[in-house]
Amino acid sequence: MPETAIAAPEALLRVEDLKIHFPIYDGLFRRKVGDVKAVDGVSFEIKRGETLGLVGESGCGKSTTGRAVLRLYDPTAGAVNFEDRDIASLPANEMRAMRPRMQMIFQDPQASLNPRMTVGAIIAEPLMEHTKMSAGERKDKVAELLDQVGLSRDFINRFPHEFSGGQRQRIGIARALALDPDLIVCDEPIAALDVSIQAQVVNLLEDLQHRLGLTYLFISHDLSMVRHIADRVAVMYLGKIMELAPMGKLFASPRHPYTQALLSAVPVADPKIEANRKRVILTGDVPSPANPPEGCVFCTRCPLAKKTNDKRCFTIPPEWREIEQDQFVACHLAE
């Protein structure tokens, strides 16, 4: 009897050549003189039920990408296909109907919660906007959501300033879950928290994913946390993705020089390994996204480009290619 093939998970989100350019105006008449290319031709997909980690230095375009995925920023060009429907070009009324299925957990829980609203009102606000629940049904739903994120139902009438950073982030997570979304963009959800609390929040996100079948775009600069939660990892630099691979393959065998430099900066708990580990030190500053390099955007800091002096690195943008199965890289010299 032949074995039944297990179908691969379908792509819930597919981003194709996404560009977010912010215009620069100058002079008395405010003429446009250029663009800040915050995101410049990014493509990736996220399968249903998986977590894609998006990592890179501050200012590389990670958060802008996450906000564009949810149409909090209108894309300059490209497509954002959610279940094969391009939401980048949807009119406002149709986009509003899609919003409940895509939610966001923000970086700073203190700034993202209205200090004048109670916890119950904050979590119930999406329910009031997008559902026809009665007041009693909303109250029951809020209590259920507080249970899901590990907070007491007695907190429902308290205000955000009465909670710790970790508790406030749990409130933000409960608000994101209120409309039973399929996709949640986690925009550095642990960056503003104490180290002792970060693991608790990441474990909560993993538990919720397993119980509710959620799909995450997890944005972070903390590679150790991304390693813990992500199924695949995309490495971003100056508005472009440098490398994309399954988590285990990327950490064990990084192919792009920028990925190698990032991973070499992550400390290892074993002192013997740490003492003998090769560090990759990048020199120079990150170029301006308003005036990126002509060839590879990483060429001005790339140790491999400087060592080989390959003219392609400085004049020709590298092709996005699959160097091994499921491992993609944008580099002329990666082998």
31 - beta bridge partners? 26
pLDDT digits (tens, 9 = 90+) for 143-165: 999 999 999 999 999 999 999 99
CA distance 220 to 297: 21
- CB atoms near residue 109 (< 10 Å): 24
Q: Is the distance from CB of 202 to CB of 225 less than 8 angstroms?
A: yes
Task: Please report the pLDDT score of residue 279 as a whole number.
Answer: 82
CA quadruple 94, 103, 58, 312: dihedral positive or negative?
Answer: negative
| Neighbouring residues of 70: CB distance < 8 A, sequence distance ≥ 6 | 102, 103, 104, 185
pLDDT digits (tens, 9 = 90+) for 105-129: 998 888 899 999 999 999 999 999 9
Task: Please report the pLDDT score of residue 185 as a whole number.
Answer: 97
Task: Please report the pLDDT score of residue 27 as a whole number.
Answer: 85
Residue 329 Cα distances to 228, 250, 296, 299, 317, angstroms: 22, 11, 12, 15, 12
Q: Average pLDDT for consecutive 10-residue bins of the chain (335 residues)? A: 51 95 90 92 95 93 95 94 91 91 91 94 95 93 96 94 93 96 94 86 94 96 90 96 95 93 82 76 87 93 90 94 94 88
The reply to whether the predicted model has a pTM over 0.85 is: yes
Q: Is the distance from CB of 173 to CB of 205 less than 8 angstroms?
A: yes
Residue 134 Cα distances to 120, 160, 186, 273, 317, angstroms: 14, 24, 30, 59, 56
CA distance 146 to 160: 14
Residue 196 Cα distances to 190, 202, 269, 276, angstroms: 11, 11, 17, 28
